[in-house]
Structure 1
């Protein structure tokens, strides 16, 4: 079935199963789900399926949605005056973001359905939720094997965790790059090489809310790059200087000095175009190393050299 207002297509097992899969739950419309007819001597389940009347109110949920054991029906049918109607099945407790399907048929259960005894179910979570516990559960003798399964709201990694200008720290696991659970607090400060433009605003504060969004508690600092500053103890050293070294052959491990460069940003270095020869392989970043500072002594990559090395990702020749 194709949902009327979107291009989403549903398997027929997801139609009239008590769970609205289309945007406005058109797959559960009574005009669709009410056209199933059951033969004489049978009972029509709330989901539209049919079972024999001898299985109605037998204390075991035979309908996929458990509607054959609804207390109001069964007390009237049996004449029972019991306040509660005992059913040998497992009740699903409605939990936001959680979907439960039969492990073998992949049919979806209503959130408050009665799952027949000896059934095995599979649990999945909607987008924006994370599963805690096993994704498989079983109903055994009217009780769930595992009662500690849940879908917990979480926030996707914040863009600030991928920004070169910021450092982030999350209260749940520290690392903010893997997504965070609801109520996680994220602190945002300036990354090394950056500083806040205000001494009154050094750390931003965010909280992962119940909607899976990062709520701003305190605004982030405005972080600007720290330009190179000469140390009074080493006046001859310029911290924005780098040296470019090149190896001449693919299998060569000896790098020789080629030219000097200047750091423009954390990921950009500018140098003279004469640093690169016209040989095609010379334009490959794999043939170069960037060395921090002013150095000209050749080195072998497989031996201790004392240099701080960086790889090149791209080379752009600008004319």
Structure 2
């Protein structure tokens, strides 16, 4: 039976590890006399490897990925690819030649035959002398073509073209796929061959007797390569005398019991030809198993395992169902079907699931597409890269909900990026609006540092004392509307150089990250940031007018109940410096600019932290860009009064793009 032949062949491979020193030396002498080593000999130790130029190195350095011979002959295909350890035994009938040819299951075999640690594969460093451990790292040739559905049965291999062949035919030296994809380095590179087999340069396994027999049996003909065969067939060492062979230990009873195949997978016993292969439960002296998983399942663990004298040198792998990543998000509309039935898109999805994707309103596709379809492939990846949906920024709502109340100047949602900053009132269980802020993404708000900073302790206040509210029109916490969204704060990052009044409010900026994403709608959208500073010099020039929104005190010096907009022109620094009181000039730091009127239209207490945004025409229409943050103004006499008839100072946002990028949640 096939199992018996395998048993006999593999006994010989095991025997080499236990040869007496005198017999091992005899074998090495035979190897030295072969055509593999033709250079002039010098005295080397028995356990040394002789380089082609005559130098000696320790045999443990041979074929280890690193070049140790001065001439590099320890790391060549001639030396490493199917290095022969001939063992002829009178115990076998007829006498057979065995080759120790494969790396252990925990190792990676370089194209020329050297063995390096399996972790060296695709680790970004060249560990094989020929660099083959870093080739073909972007994907596996056994992955299905994304455009080809998986229709193969259990125990079959799917060619890149979609053709199905028996898994036994994979990497056997013959091109059984019409496109040859079953005999490639990507398909076979991770295969390990049993000791009696020859490993083709691309990884396939053929019978060891086929090596250098004048007929190519590897798909790439590497079994007949001159590097291996030289000028003719490899000489077979003479059969040892009876005296020599009697030093071999007698065969022991088989101790390797073939395991049950994994659920949703199978294994092939190395060296057997179906249907005459040993079955689970069969005991062998040596067992070498190559595992595969059914279509739709992926292998976890090492693909090849082997057992010798009852000891398994690695755990058998398992097969787990392949699935693709969830697609639902706050920015995408997704519909998913599996076998023509609608399925949820929020969890891991089965192979074959078809998803139709488009961006939600107020988002745009990158690259720009209206919608597209993608399929979950058997490699656990979507057939088409999932494009990003980014918010449409800086767009005012031209159809904002109008409110007519005491001459209100702002439509609800007209400036949808403005948010309210509320703080828990000391000693009272109620929330009070203290500042404003500007939404720059679904989870990030920009505001002024002084809204969150305790100058007495030089510390940022506890984040749990604050809430961010988007889509709010009325200042009163209790007054709600259908667009309103409350955001709990993940963290507050105040610029490290901010020290309040001590340093004249320089670096008056804070990044507030929210715990949960804000959903964009008609009344809630982010502003644009001029990160490339394309418009800054134009917008921050004399005469250009920006808009600031807030709930500061109104013209009657009373807190405004409704959201109010003020349109403020940029003011040249020298004009501002000459106009403001001398006591205020100390606050005109290098990161500040001035804006405002001298006629009473200005920002007021409660507007701090709000954004000053400027419109910019482009091919996409008018977009608004955040250029300033309300920081400090000339205080008039009396509490809670506006900074009227004077210019106000704004923190220049462009000076802090790096700070924002480094601290915002993506």
TM-score when normalising by structure 1: 0.50
Other-structure match for 1:64: 257
Other-structure match for 2:335: 169
Give 1:24 deviation, angstroms: 3.6
Give 1:203 deviation, angstroms: 1.5
Give 1:153 deviation, angstroms: 5.5
SS of the equivalent of 2:439 reads: strand
Alpha-carbon distance change, 38 to 116 in structure 1, aligned in 2, over 3 angstroms: farther
Other-structure match for 1:236: 411
Match of 1:211 among 379, 383, 388: 379
Other-structure match for 2:492: 315
1:61-210 maps to which residues of 2 (within 5 A)? Answer: 64-65=257-258, 98=265, 114-116=279-281, 129=297, 154-157=322-325, 161=327, 165-172=331-338, 174-195=343-364, 201-210=369-378
Query: RMSD value over aligned CA atoms?
Result: 5.3
Match of 1:294 among 468, 473, 485: 473
Give 1:263 deviation, angstroms: 1.9
Give 1:205 deviation, angstroms: 0.3
Q: Distance in 2 between matches of 1:125 and 1:186?
A: 25
Q: Distance in 1 between matches of 2:431 and 2:389?
A: 40
Other-structure match for 2:430: 254
Q: Distance in 1 between matches of 2:280 and 2:366?
A: 60
Match of 1:245 among 422, 431, 435: 422
- Alpha carbons 2:324, 2:350 under 8 Å: kept: no
Give 1:198 deviation, angstroms: 10
Q: Distance in 2 between matches of 1:265 and 1:196?
A: 16
Moved over 6 A (4+): 123-126
Q: Distance in 1 between matches of 2:389 and 2:423?
A: 38
Alpha-carbon distance change, 124 to 274 in structure 1, aligned in 2, over 3 angstroms: farther
- Alpha carbons 2:466, 2:489 under 8 Å: kept: yes
SS of the equivalent of 2:492 reads: coil
Alpha-carbon distance change, 99 to 197 in structure 1, aligned in 2, over 3 angstroms: closer
Give 1:180 deviation, angstroms: 1.9
Match of 1:7 among 109, 117, 128: 117
- Alpha carbons 2:374, 2:384 under 8 Å: kept: yes
Other-structure match for 2:441: 265
Bigger share in strand: 1
Alpha-carbon distance change, 244 to 198 in structure 1, aligned in 2, over 3 angstroms: same
Give 1:289 deviation, angstroms: 0.7
SS of the equivalent of 1:274 reads: helix
- Alpha carbons 2:322, 2:350 under 8 Å: kept: yes
Alpha-carbon distance change, 167 to 273 in structure 1, aligned in 2, over 3 angstroms: same
Q: Distance in 2 between matches of 1:212 and 1:203?
A: 22
